[in-house]
């Protein structure tokens, strides 16, 4: 495989599409194109000139050098890469939807509005919250929504000046502190105890009059259910803060426990994780946000603070209606209502699963995790830090520290050794509180056989590393590229984020990135 | 219950696994959940989720049919509506390629070696957009145009350590709302600059006045305006002014128009944002779309930009390879100090845009933009012949969107046209300096002469009476 | 004119190639065509082909929209019509997989080494159908059920060197017409055997009578009948009879029913044919469908069977591999002595059927067949409660198709139902022993109780008045 | 790549789909399932039990081990493997079409009927004939239709008893003699002269009172236009026979010459060749047949003999109507009207191309062929038998005989050497009149660059063979399997057409194929 860039395939005069042209009558009626002289483009953009045949082949070949759930297991921890059922594609890819403009009158899109409305409703029951919006484009935008709502909440209460701190556990996803910072908050981390729970003494010490809120995912990134969650909720609420639920790990408890019941005030969920929307190589996703009706002021609850337009049902009219954000709302986070196709995908998924199916999915995901742990139990190369006796939920975090100590092979080497066997690697070096972390989430979509093969390969890697410590550094050898040079990739003199940079640099027209 | 999407759901398999683990039941794996909040299967299963039971595939397909049959699809003619996303010609190969399972079901390419094809496709997206904009660095996508504006103004605040951002009063109101939300979080103040009522151009005097405070982090302008359609001829002067005042110049662009217009990189823009929707994406009632984000080749900009970047490098054997670069900007490394919290983006839509730009090429893209120009000007000319209609309302040039003034309430006109099967433009009452009789009309290459003639005829009939 | 589907169509490229060849113009490459029949470009270009000019993609898409909008789609309820193809439940994964470019745009796998995946998929189709039928050899497909019957009777003629083929008088008339065309070419005589008016079973006495001539190449029967729905309980006896008479026993089967019925391999069939349409293929107004063709493990049958076969073997390194086998039967090797002229078949549909059978598995397929049985019997019961309606008309058991007698002309009833949005069954007037008031109704797993109730209610209203 | 059979992935209890189930009310109303006892299946078919996830992954992987036009050039001679434009898939794959039953009333399918009608009409003009049907499922079925019409024609004339012979050139596709034989005709071959044309003396000798017809493709399988075609037509007609045009090679003359003008009486075309319908790994295809209105009897022309239903336009009703085959028709060749999706694909293709585009396609295909010949000209390893000075049309047939003489490398070795370079092999050992034939058809879809790469690889293969004659026998090495064992594949003791045979043989329940 050595596929050129599409730009390198260019040949002057070739075309890949024949777009519409105005008729001669139109051209004649209107006359030649007039643009402000100073703003007319004087040379065409340097885009490739290729035929449709070549474009189809090129991207077909590139796709064959990619790897999705359709190719095999992707046990990336905290990513919940489950199978994306094709019946949902049947709706999301229907060509008719392509024509629906987001400003079409409500009466003309009742089918879509009803589906969005139903997803809003179902998510209320799934999360145990009082109101939901599907507006945010992804989980991190859901988090931003939550942080802005926390800010607005305290602002309405007149306490914004003093409530400057958002607390996150040290095992949190990086998005939590990043989102808090985008809301202008200071971030205070609290450590994790040996039992895998938040260190309660440290939490108590961190809480105070400056506490705006606490963001936490449960189960944690260690795959452990936070046992003290009710105490944590009580303490945060007593301190005057709001409790935010990061729903990235919802698959670990779905059907068994709900953030609303744990007294979370705000929660987001990831439709592209728990609800099986395909991840598209990085996106699009969808990150609905739900709230309990906690009062900020008389008659104003968190529901009023929710971002973006929502769909409501008008009994009088018998119509679903888009209601724009109201006066207390934190506003829009994107121009339009939602990543609608993702919401429709999740709509189909939830319809097909029903509560029983969602619960079964969660249960089997948990069984898969613990079965995998069992297979790895007692192996000399890998340990299970934090509360090894407690069952994990959606994921398990192994440490390759023993392996590294004995052979020098790192978590990254292990990852490459998995790729070499045609298996996707886990999330590595995360959470930060585990050295040489291998964070593994099979989800309910994996077969017992694949889990066994994965465990076997991990053990084989350890044996190969012990036999010859130089071997792991040579992995991978069977992939479309060998290990990439990350130093060169990031060096100011060689960093190449676009072909344009490469060309200008070759022409001596571009210096190092300063 | 065995489920096709849950291979281990068969009782015998589950029991085998539980037995191997020495665990008596699935329940036991949830023993650490406090009883007071643990739901019994009966409690959970009785929640009104979906239809309260799993639907079999054929039942689901029937629901899908029903849903699809309850929308009205406007294809002949397409909606005469833009507002930041537009009905456009979409080559069929785009969807055929992005629906390939390897792309569709992939995750963010954290493992470079097994994801070279995905990375190359994203690198190509970055590279093609870089050429279109003549900006050196383009990220692998943000959510949409409006959130890209939000990220851009937060970035300007970080880069300049100033708090004020200026925008023209005719800025797309939906984008402005989004920007305001981001600004609220980041402590940025957004202030509007006057726009000339006749030309639709930014008022340079008012701009200079507001810049004179000395605390401007950035000026944001649209090019062409997505809510008036106007190509602002003061744009270069405005950019120079903000640069003199030490602020960043941020341009929001409609990408197809760039085939005809001097690109932001040539207008001195520090940051360019926009929506990739016109590059082969459907309207899909709200998304997914594609937030474009580009910066000039300058360290302080590149290091402060949000979002993922794919870079070209070599592998251990010296062959070309691709990798995620400059990750120290990102949340999974930098956490609270990250340039943004974004992780999931719109990667698949970026690939779609790469396919689109590859198919169209320089000639095709120019033809699209030219067809837009011709069809919209043809429409404006025909409309202006109607009694009491001013079209275009503003004097500035345009490529596909333009404002018209009707002799009646624009929302009412729109309602009447809808009854006749045509989706007209966006009523502008309440927006900036426009009146209730004003409308933003959109005509692109997706509209034929027949479509335009139909619109004009029907409008004539609903106006005249 | 440059065209996206013709990479070398750009003038400069073409000129470069012509120059390299030392040829002055494209015309020169046609110099050996006699002038009297050579068309000038002008003559050709003025022919009314398409719309007389190339359409741009958006224009084509508009034509597609128009075409699609000019059909009526019956999904709620689906047509109550079979006749050899049926409305059925289709898992969504089927189309998603067969539309992958590698399958869709492949040729017949003449080069084994680069086509192992395609070959394996076809081998799996052959293998899965072999299990369904309990026949050892299945080819990689023929065109459809009816042409498979045609090929089967020609094969019987070759194997037995006899000319007469017997079929029941209730054989699917469209299949019979096709068989007759093949028979005409191959010099085969088709004769009908009586069927009992009450049960729908073949009349064994009449069969024995016709077999007694001693020149019967084969008896062909359907199982269940695709035009009466009846499962013929005389089938084993009939098979034994034709075997005693030295002829082949050919069974035409509806594959889903095989989940409930003793398969042809267990009924002594020498050849089994059928249509794979129920195995995950859409109706698509006529095709493509999938001709199933299977034979017992007997050299004279296998060597005389038509169509392509994929076999399992090993490669030079001893690993499992797949190859086209027994090609000496085929036209490209054997020419006039080939067992058939077939080359292009329905390979992609065979892969669809393999995907379907893999998804459904033994349990799913049984559920489909059972649902058909239940829904059709529910319909028959409800219909029989209507005044003047006999349902089922014949006493033989059925799985999804059954005949009914109405108190009025069946074609007229069908017309009235169509006005109410329901596509009823096939009027049987003129077919075999049926009257103008008779109709072949189809109810499968694709029909819900609501659908059946609706049909019955509407029929009641159009009958009663 | 070592993908198991789907059957080998089976695990009891797994399911890949949940089909519809009757409601309990229905079951109760109807009672338990009753089937004739002797005909009830007593053990379920041995189908795999796998999840949807596994099925999608399995067939995704198998597809990646296949090779289509989307992957690269497939220059199989006489197969016309052109690019399959995706805009046509937009129609052919529209989910709505799946629901259209072929017995729906004409009024409810006017969109489809109009398209079929238009294709019938357009093909008349493309071929220069008077009437067309799209009924046949493939080219070979089109041929069968033609042969049956020839038979019926002579039958109507009362001459069937004596007109027993159909003549074909020795360069003909194998389908021609096979189709003639299916019509019960004797086949007589006539040789090809050194100039690549039919040997006219031999033809004259073969023609006579027993001549039913002549089947010929033009351009021939050598890629050469039959220069004497008008003389041939005259001679055949004088002898009382009909002239049949095999349209497999139509791409070689489209836009420049038409079978009707050459006085062919019957012609088929392959929509899956000239008209870009994808070939699907072997099918489906579509093989329309066209005729001139030659009289068989007063008032009965070949049009009346056309097989199957056709679409007609009823002026009175303003409706398109399906007209079933009439009394003179050779009848149905399949139960329903057509491989409709293939016809719709071609409908889109022809619409998009118009006459100008079709002509351009033919012209560029011809240029591509001759450019390739130019690149290969004078190479020591390959010759161009028959009339080397005459331009080829859609394809060229090289002979690897010089290469074989010098190095022992055969046409098959050359084919495998191409596969090894990621290029698809040409049709080999055909036509039979060329030794070590390599029959190469690039079509208009190939780039100049790919043609050059192909020629370069052919030359490289020759050099490698000269350097070490053992090398070619080891090819291919880079494909998913090494060279397959065809002896084992076909031996009566080992031939394995299904997994069932493998299993029964292992169980000792199946002997050699006798």
Q: How many structural domains comprise chain D? A: 4
C337, C195: one domain: yes
Question: What is the longest distance spanned by two Cα atoms in chain C?
Answer: 84
pLDDT tens readout for residues A316-345 = 999 999 999 999 999 999 999 999 999 999
Whether A274 shows a pLDDT value over 70: the answer reads: yes
D125, D237: one domain: yes
A408: containing domain: 73-99+365-483
As given in the structure block, the two tokens for residue B23 are 């665990």
The CATH number for A324's domain is 3.40.640.10
Contact C224, C259 (CB under 8 A): no
Burial class of D154 by CB neighbour count within 10 A (0 to 12, 13 to 18, 19+): buried
**C343 vs C334: CA distance, rounded Å:** 12
Q: Is B43 on the interface with A (CB under 8 A)?
A: no
Predicted confidence at residue B425, as pLDDT, reads: 97
Contact A276, A250 (CB under 8 A): no
Q: Which residues, in sequence order, are CB contacts of A472 under 8 Å at separation 6+?
A: A407, A408, A409, A410, A413, A414, A416, A417, A461, A464, A465
**C192 vs C186: CA distance, rounded Å:** 18
As given in the structure block, the two tokens for residue C457 are 């209610």
Residues within 8 A of C (CB atoms), D 386-405 only:
390-391, 393
D86 contact residues in A (CB cutoff 8 A):
52, 56
Asked if residue D449 is part of any domain, the answer here is yes
Q: Which residue has the tokens 């073949």?
A: C202
Asked if residue B1 is part of any domain, the answer here is no
A237, A287: one domain: yes
Q: How many structural domains comprise chain B? A: 3
D212, D317: one domain: yes
D344, D491: one domain: no
Predicted confidence at residue D1, as pLDDT, reads: 57
Predicted confidence at residue C464, as pLDDT, reads: 76
Kindly report the backbone phi and psi dihedral angles of residue D94, in degrees, each rounded to the nearest multiple of 5, phi listed first: -60, 130
Predicted confidence at residue A1, as pLDDT, reads: 57
pLDDT tens readout for residues A6-35 = 999 999 999 999 999 999 999 999 999 999
Contact C103, D72 (CB under 8 A): no
C352, C368: one domain: no
Q: Is B7 on the interface with D (CB under 8 A)?
A: yes
**A196 vs A171: CA distance, rounded Å:** 9
Phi-psi region of C393 (alpha: psi -120 to 50; beta: other; left: phi over 0): alpha
Residues within 8 A of A (CB atoms), D 240-279 only:
none
Predicted confidence at residue C334, as pLDDT, reads: 86
pLDDT, average across residues D16-23: 96
Which chain D residue's Cα is nearest to B102? D60
> If we measure between CA atoms, which residue out of A71, A45, A44, A54 comes closest to residue A15?
A54
Nearest CA of chain D to the CA of C96: how many Å?
Answer: 9
As given in the structure block, the two tokens for residue D108 are 């409810």
pLDDT tens readout for residues D275-300 = 999 999 999 999 999 999 999 999 99
pLDDT, average across residues A41-55: 97
Which of A287, A318, A348 terminates a domain? The answer is: A348
pLDDT tens readout for residues C26-61 = 999 999 999 999 999 999 999 999 999 999 999 999
pLDDT tens readout for residues B263-280 = 999 999 999 999 999 999
Neighbours of A504 (CB within 10 A): 15
B416: containing domain: 362-464
Predicted confidence at residue A482, as pLDDT, reads: 86
Quickly state the pLDDT bin for D73 (edges 50, 70, 90). very high
The CATH number for B302's domain is 3.40.640.10
C141, C261: one domain: yes
D33, D162: one domain: no
User: Containing H/E element for A66?
Assistant: none
Question: What is the longest distance spanned by two Cα atoms in chain B?
Answer: 84
> What letter would DSSP give residue C77?
S
Asked if residue A359 is part of any domain, the answer here is no
Contact D288, D269 (CB under 8 A): yes
Burial class of D13 by CB neighbour count within 10 A (0 to 12, 13 to 18, 19+): middle
B120, B269: one domain: yes
Quickly state the pLDDT bin for C17 (edges 50, 70, 90). very high
pLDDT tens readout for residues C148-170 = 999 999 999 999 999 999 999 99
pLDDT tens readout for residues C57-101 = 999 999 999 999 999 999 999 999 999 999 999 999 999 999 999
Q: Which residue has the tokens 């935008």?
A: A141
Q: Is D85 on the interface with B (CB under 8 A)?
A: yes
Predicted confidence at residue A252, as pLDDT, reads: 97
* Peptide bond before residue C392 is cis, with ω within 30 degrees of 0: yes
Strands (E), D11-76: none
Question: What is the longest distance spanned by two Cα atoms in chain A?
Answer: 82
D470, D372: one domain: yes
List the subunits that have 3+ CB pairs under 8 angstroms with D. A, B, C
In percent, how much of chain A has pLDDT > 70?
Answer: 100
How far are the Cα atoms of A349, A355, A386, B49, B131 from residue B55, in angstroms, in the given order? 10, 11, 40, 12, 49
Q: Which residues, in sequence order, are CB contacts of A212 under 8 Å at separation 6+?
A: A150, A151, A154, A163, A164, A165, A166, A185, A241, A242
**C321 vs C338: CA distance, rounded Å:** 26
B274, B347: one domain: yes
Which of D348, D368, D389 terminates a domain? The answer is: D348
A184 contact residues in B (CB cutoff 8 A):
185-187
Residue ranges in A245-385 assigned as alpha helix (H): 302-305, 340-376
Q: Indicate the pairing of strand D310-314 with strand D396-399.
A: unpaired
C113, C34: one domain: no
Predicted confidence at residue A433, as pLDDT, reads: 94
Cβ of B70 within 8 Å of Cβ of A495? The answer is no
Q: Is A70 on the interface with D (CB under 8 A)?
A: yes
B308, B389: one domain: no
**C96 vs B101: CA distance, rounded Å:** 9
B399, B331: one domain: no
Asked if residue B82 is part of any domain, the answer here is no
A308, A448: one domain: no
A126, A185: one domain: yes
> What letter would DSSP give residue B294?
E
Q: Is A51 on the interface with D (CB under 8 A)?
A: yes
Residue B323 in 3-state DSSP?
strand
Kindly report the backbone phi and psi dihedral angles of residue B331, in degrees, each rounded to the nearest multiple of 5, phi listed first: -65, -35
DSSP B378-426: HHHHHHHTSTT-BSSSS-S--SSEEEEE-SS-HHHHHHHHHHTT----E
> If we measure between CA atoms, which residue out of B338, B455, B460 comes closest to residue B389?
B460
Cβ of C4 within 8 Å of Cβ of B359? The answer is yes
**B299 vs A223: CA distance, rounded Å:** 39
Cβ of B56 within 8 Å of Cβ of D21? The answer is yes
D370, D327: one domain: no
Which of D317, D348, D379 terminates a domain? The answer is: D348
Asked if residue D80 is part of any domain, the answer here is no
pLDDT tens readout for residues C235-270 = 999 999 999 999 999 999 999 999 999 999 999 999
Quickly state the pLDDT bin for D481 (edges 50, 70, 90). confident
Number of H helices, E strands in chain B: 15, 12
Asked if residue B71 is part of any domain, the answer here is no
pLDDT tens readout for residues D42-71 = 999 999 999 999 999 999 999 999 999 999
Contact A46, B363 (CB under 8 A): no
Q: Which residues, in sequence order, are CB contacts of A389 under 8 Å at separation 6+?
A: none
pLDDT tens readout for residues B313-344 = 999 889 999 999 999 888 888 888 899 999 99
Contact C223, C246 (CB under 8 A): no
B209, B249: one domain: yes
Contact A292, A260 (CB under 8 A): yes
pLDDT tens readout for residues A459-510 = 999 999 999 999 999 999 888 788 899 999 999 999 999 999 999 999 999 9
As given in the structure block, the two tokens for residue B126 are 């970055």
pLDDT tens readout for residues D295-339 = 999 999 999 999 999 999 999 999 999 999 999 999 999 999 999
pLDDT tens readout for residues C131-153 = 999 999 999 999 999 999 999 99
Strand partners, B295: B137, B271
The whole-chain average pLDDT of chain D stands at 96
Phi-psi region of B287 (alpha: psi -120 to 50; beta: other; left: phi over 0): left
Sheet holding C426-427, edge to edge: C401-405, C438-442, C426-427
- From A66, A364, A486, residue closest to B118, measured CB to CB: A66
Indicate which of D447, D450, D451 best probes the interface with A, i.e. most A CBs within 10 Å of its own CB.
Answer: D447
Q: Is C173 on the interface with D (CB under 8 A)?
A: no
pLDDT tens readout for residues A289-300 = 999 999 999 999
pLDDT tens readout for residues C337-391 = 899 999 999 999 999 999 999 999 999 999 999 999 999 999 999 999 999 999 9
**D338 vs D336: CA distance, rounded Å:** 6
B336, B311: one domain: yes
Asked if residue B70 is part of any domain, the answer here is no
Asked if residue B74 is part of any domain, the answer here is no
Residue D192 in 3-state DSSP?
strand
Q: Which value does ipTM take for this structure? A: 0.97
The CATH number for B445's domain is 3.90.1150.10
A59, A157: one domain: no
Asked if residue A513 is part of any domain, the answer here is no
Contact D13, B13 (CB under 8 A): yes
Asked if residue C426 is part of any domain, the answer here is yes
B351, B372: one domain: no
Q: Indicate the pairing of strand B291-295 with strand B271-275.
A: antiparallel
Which of C299, C322, C356 terminates a domain? The answer is: C356
Cβ of B144 within 8 Å of Cβ of A91? The answer is no
Q: What is the CA radius of gyration of chain B?
A: 26
Q: Which residue has the tokens 């406090």?
A: B34
C372 contact residues in B (CB cutoff 8 A):
none
A285, A410: one domain: no
Asked if residue C72 is part of any domain, the answer here is no
Asked if residue D235 is part of any domain, the answer here is yes
Question: What is the longest distance spanned by two Cα atoms in chain D?
Answer: 82
**D256 vs D78: CA distance, rounded Å:** 19
As given in the structure block, the two tokens for residue B435 are 């009146």
Contact C220, C196 (CB under 8 A): no
pLDDT tens readout for residues B435-458 = 999 999 999 999 999 999 999 999
The whole-chain average pLDDT of chain A stands at 96
Handedness of CA A445, A448, A453, A454 (dihedral sign): positive
As given in the structure block, the two tokens for residue A8 are 């390198």
End-to-end CA separation in angstroms for chain B: 64
Indicate which of A53, A71, A92 best probes the interface with D, i.e. most D CBs within 10 Å of its own CB.
Answer: A53
D339, D377: one domain: no
Asked if residue C81 is part of any domain, the answer here is no
């Amino acid at each position: 495989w050595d596929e050129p860039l599409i730009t390198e395939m260019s040949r002057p005069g070739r075309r890949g599409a024949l777009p519409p042209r105005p008729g001669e009558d139109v051209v004649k009626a209107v006359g030649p194109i007039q643009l402000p002289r100073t703003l007319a483009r004087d040379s065409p953009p340097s885009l490739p000139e290729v035929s449709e045949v070549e474009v189809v082949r090129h991207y077909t070949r590139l796709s064959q050098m990619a790897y999705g759930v359709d190719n095999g297991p992707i046990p990336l921890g905290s990513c919940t890469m489950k199978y994306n059922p094709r019946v949902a594609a049947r709706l999301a890819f229907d060509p008719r939807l392509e024509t629906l403009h987001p400003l079409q009158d409500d009466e003309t899109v009742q089918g879509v509005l009803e589906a969005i409305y139903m997803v809003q409703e179902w998510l209320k029951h799934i999360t145990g919250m009082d109101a939901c919006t599907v507006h945010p484009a992804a989980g991190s935008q859901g988090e931003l929504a939550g942080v802005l709502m926390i800010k607005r909440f305290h602002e309405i209460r007149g306490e914004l000046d003093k409530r400057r701190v958002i607390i996150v556990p040290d095992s949190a996803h990086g998005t939590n502190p990043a989102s808090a910072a985008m809301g202008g908050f200071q971030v205070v981390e609290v450590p994790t105890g040996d039992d895998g729970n938040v260190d309660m003494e440290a939490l108590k010490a961190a809480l105070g009059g400056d506490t705006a809120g606490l963001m936490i995912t449960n189960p944690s990134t260690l795959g452990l259910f936070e046992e003290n969650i009710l105490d944590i909720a009580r303490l945060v609420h007593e301190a005057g803060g709001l409790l935010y639920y990061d729903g990235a790990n919802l698959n670990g408890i779905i059907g068994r426990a709900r953030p609303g019941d744990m007294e979370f005030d705000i929660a987001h969920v990831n439709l592209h994780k728990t609800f099986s929307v395909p991840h598209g190589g990085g996106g699009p996703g969808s990150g609905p946000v739900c709230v309990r009706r906690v009062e900020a002021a008389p008659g104003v609850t968190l529901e009023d603070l929710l971002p973006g337009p929502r769909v409501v049902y008008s009994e009088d009219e018998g119509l679903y209606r888009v209601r724009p954000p109201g006066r207390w709302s934190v506003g829009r986070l994107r121009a339009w209502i939602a990543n609608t196709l993702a919401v429709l995908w999740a709509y189909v998924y939830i319809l097909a699963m029903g509560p029983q199916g969602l619960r079964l999915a969660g249960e089997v995901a948990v069984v898969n995790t613990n079965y995998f742990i069992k297979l790895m139990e007692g192996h000399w190369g890998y340990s299970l830090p934090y509360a090894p006796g407690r069952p994990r939920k959606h994921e398990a975090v192994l440490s390759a520290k023993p392996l590294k100590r004995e052979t020098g092979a790192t978590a990254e080497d292990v990852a490459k050794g998995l790729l070499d066997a045609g298996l996707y690697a886990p999330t590595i070096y995360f959470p930060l509180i585990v050295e040489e972390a291998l964070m593994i989430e099979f989800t309910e979509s994996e077969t017992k056989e694949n889990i066994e093969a994965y465990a076997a390969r991990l053990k084989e890697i350890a044996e190969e590393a012990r036999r010859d410590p130089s071997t792991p550094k040579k992995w991978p050898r069977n992939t479309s590229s060998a290990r990439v040079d990350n130093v060169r990739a990031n060096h100011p003199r060689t960093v190449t984020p676009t072909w344009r940079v490469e060309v200008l640099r070759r022409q001596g027209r571009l210096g190092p990135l300063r | 219950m065995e489920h096709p999407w849950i291979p281990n759901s068969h009782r015998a398999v589950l029991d085998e696994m539980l037995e191997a683990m020495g665990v008596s039941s699935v329940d036991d794996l949830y023993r650490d959940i406090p009883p007071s909040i643990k739901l019994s299967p009966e409690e959970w299963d009785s929640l009104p989720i979906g239809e309260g039971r799993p639907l079999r595939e054929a039942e689901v397909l029937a629901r899908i049919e029903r849903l699809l049959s309850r929308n009205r699809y406007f294809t002949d003619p397409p909606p005469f509506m833009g507002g930041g996303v537009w009905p456009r010609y979409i080559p069929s190969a785009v969807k055929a390629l992005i629906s390939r399972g390897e792309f569709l079901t992939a995750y963010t390419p954290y493992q470079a070696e097994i994801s070279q094809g995905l990375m190359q496709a994203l690198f190509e997206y970055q590279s093609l957009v870089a050429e279109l904009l003549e900006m050196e660095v383009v990220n692998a996508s943000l959510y949409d145009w409006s959130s890209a504006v939000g990220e851009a103004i937060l970035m300007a605040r970080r880069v300049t350590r100033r708090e004020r951002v200026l925008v023209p009063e005719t800025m797309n109101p939906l984008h402005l709302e989004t920007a305001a939300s981001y600004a609220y979080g980041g402590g940025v103040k957004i202030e509007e600059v006057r726009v000339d009522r006749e030309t639709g151009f930014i008022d340079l005097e008012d701009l200079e006045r507001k810049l004179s405070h000395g605390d401007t982090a950035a000026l944001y302008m649209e090019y062409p305006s997505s809510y008036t359609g106007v190509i602002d001829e003061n744009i270069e002067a405005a950019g120079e002014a903000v640069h003199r005042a030490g602020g960043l110049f941020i341009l929001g662009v409609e990408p197809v128009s760039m085939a005809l217009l001097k690109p932001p990189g040539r207008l001195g823009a520090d940051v360019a944002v926009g929506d990739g929707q016109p590059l082969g994406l459907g309207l899909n009632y709200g998304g997914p779309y594609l937030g474009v984000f580009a910066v000039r080749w300058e360290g302080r900009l590149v290091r402060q930009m949000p979002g993922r970047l794919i870079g070209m490098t070599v592998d251990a054997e010296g062959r070309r390879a691709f990798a995620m670069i400059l990750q120290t900007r990102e949340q999974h490394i930098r956490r609270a100090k990250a340039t943004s919290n974004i992780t999931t983006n719109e990667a698949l839509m970026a690939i779609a845009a790469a396919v689109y730009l590859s198919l169209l090429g320089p000639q095709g893209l120019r033809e699209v933009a030219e067809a837009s120009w011709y069809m919209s000007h043809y429409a404006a000319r025909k409309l202006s012949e109607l009694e009491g209609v001013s079209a275009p309302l503003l004097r500035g040039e345009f490529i596909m969107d333009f404002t018209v003034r009707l002799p009646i309430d624009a929302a009412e006109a729109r309602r009447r046209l809808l009854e006749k099967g045509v989706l007209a433009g966006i009523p502008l009452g309440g927006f900036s300096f426009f009146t209730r009789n004003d409308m933003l009309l959109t005509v692109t290459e997706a509209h034929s002469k027949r479509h335009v003639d139909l619109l004009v005829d029907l409008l004539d009939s609903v106006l005249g009476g």
